[in-house]
Structure 1
Amino acid sequence: MSLIRRIDLRGADPASVDYRASVPRAEFDVEAATHQVQPIIDAVRARGVEAITELSARFDGVESDEIAVPREAITTALETLDPAVRAGLEESIRRLRITCAAELEHDVTSELAPGAVVTHRKVPIDRVGLYVPGGLAPLVSSVVMNVVPAQVAGVRSIALASPPQKNSGGLPEPTILAACALLGVDEVYAVGGAQAIAMFAHGAGPCERVDLVTGPGNVYVAAAKRLLRGVVGIDSEAGPTEIAILADDSADAAFVAADLISQAEHDPMAGSVLVTDSLALADAVEAELDKQVFATRHTERIRTALDGRQSGIVLVDDMDQGVDVVNAYAAEHLEIHTADARAHAARVRNAGAVFIGPWAPVSVGDYCAGSNHVLPTAGCACHSSGLSVRAFTRSMHVVDYSQAALAEVADHVVALAEAEDLPSHGQAVTVRFDASRSETRAES
């Protein structure tokens, strides 16, 4: 019996078939979770640290009256970090800083007329709260992906939260603390789940409220973000991770299978989708999955993900249809293994990140590509972007007009104000050119 199902879209009429619905995802009901999360948010808002410690005992099995991680614990985590892991983190940080610096936007000034100047100013968020999940895997790389763009953007105050771990004395995973030390982040909280998002949004104990919350998490984290949007800015409501691979008969089946498995390793709800016009490749990938899955450390988790409704091998007539399918699916991660991979990549409109050819697996993007791995899921790549420097900045228009410049457009302002039946808007301009007032100002 195959580990992964097949979905046959060959011969489908694109005018009558919804490609996005044809490749279903894992069920991820954020709305249902909000009913469980609302009492958590209310408790944190009303009782602060007391509620958080109760929730940590309930959900994480950790009893502690303190939520702030001592600085010495952060320092010790770095001192005891495996040198190979430290080297990997340092290289990941170095590469991401380069790409973040390149995308940093600068102020743009437009002179519309003599004395009429508008500056498009980029301003960093004042204070951000970054969430790093623990869960099935301690995502130390998510520390890098959240912190580096915030620092490059110029955020002045950064707080980070990660779930307390019983096997770490009630502190977050040591590798996560070590990454914080490498990045100079010393405000860290041992708080997980929805209560961490509520702490950031409302403030609790030593944690002052933030302006923006970023970072991936489970359905309860996503539900907390949904409920607190408006109280605090959020990056996205991230769902289960996913990969789509567009491949033709030139692809290496072992590579494709390994990449599908690597994404399935994240979570039993992770989605792994292959889109191909080659039956031979589909058969070869299935054979590789049968061989490779049972050689992994997390076999059961991976089998559950590959066998789920969110995963499958999608058969298409040709690569033109394949491109249409992956654009409709709008995957978090999209790999392209075709004979003309760059040309096919150029036709992709909807994806969180695109990985071109056999030597750019998603794994390199997870750690050391220089790209960010906090990406839109659940088809949201058709309207949203991955985490970047831009997420940590705001745009502000600064308007600088002289008297002569205002006079040049005064009649237009008055006419438009009258058209909207807002005459006082026009009066706010004409009063500045009242002759008697002008003479009084000149005399003074």
Structure 2
Amino acid sequence: MGFSNIMDSNSYSPDHPVDPATESLIAARDRILGPAYRLFYERPVHLVRGEGTRLYDADGACYLDAYNNVASVGHCHPHVVQATSRQLATLNTHTRYLHGGIVDYSQRLLATMPEQIDQVMYACTGSEVNDLALRVAEMHTGATGVIVTSDAYHGNTAAVTAISPSLGGATVLGDHVRAIAAPDSFRTPSDELAARFAADVVAAIEDLQASGVGFSALIVDTIFSSDGIYPDPSVLAPAVEAVHRAGGVFIADEVQPGFARTGEAMWGFTRHDVVPDLVTMGKPMGNGMPIAAMAARADVLEAFARGVPYFNTFGGNPVTVAAAAAVLDVIEDEKLMSNASEVGGQLRAELAGLAIDHPRIGDVRGTGLYVGVEVLTEAGSPDRAGAKSLVNAMRERRILISVCGRDGNVLKIRPPLVFSDSDVDWFCTEFSSALTSWS
């Protein structure tokens, strides 16, 4: 079975023994679902319940969730549960019938974005809306060439698998795709980051044009999460200028940094002081309900919208829209953007303090409640095995995190936005213990 960086850097392997009950459940899952699926951790976690930042396993043990951005406003948030249940008990149909909820929500959503972005389309997953964005960009530009970063992940349809190098395995980049280095703020001087990234974009544009496929779009996750979490906000503006000079489209994939995750703005692209042509969003949008969207400049969307009738049976249905509206309510009412900024800052400060005594922690970086911790060997090179060891040590201490990055050596800490000061204390106490045991 081929190795997938994004799927296998923290995946269960049958080489690791588990208790008989867990082994039986894994065997049944493998038999019924097949070998493509993956589980986290050397000892997989059997979850049965969640509340806020807490998850509970089949034995009643409590875990601190420091990983899941899907339940972005906390697991089973009462306001989201009530809004979803109320709509489910009232009506659920599709967008070929009129319902006011989708119009009201769309107006609220677009009000969080620059005024140039004025239309929105709905689907169920980030994969679908990234697929849709590629189609829109192609019809707008008349070209197919796409630029991505070297360990990007943008989804799992055929079209977006072809622009997701981190999937690895049997998947390959399309001939119309060029992958460039992510803006690695740990290894590149800060005053060189933006110029180097923009130069790579320009070179990729020229190569696509020379190849005959032309240049359609640059698509990036605006915190470069699968590449290793690179939050420097200076890097995108020069690259986007180059994209527009070449007649291309900039697609901001906000599945990871969107919905207040960065603590500085509702959207990751805002930190970079750029206005995208297309914005895609998913996972945290409905706090676990399957809703995703592509927001667009009307002029960029026009060719597609006039030429291709669009329908998605479940996209934008009243129940998922009710969940999404409730998520916006909670972000606003509970001031979760400020919470992400304040608590995330505290978390990074405490982690940086712990790193002082552990030279194999090379960097602590991030913004808001998205944090990356670079794990190194004693020689200073990326340590995939060491990062995986720390992730599993934290799992044994009932703290859930994962890894990311080209070398699988960056700890990915991405908790629900309701993470609190006491959660930071719990996390850092266990992380300190894990570091002491590990080193």
Q: TM-score, normalised by structure 2?
A: 0.27
Answer 1 or 2: which has greater helix percent: 1
Larger radius of gyration: 1
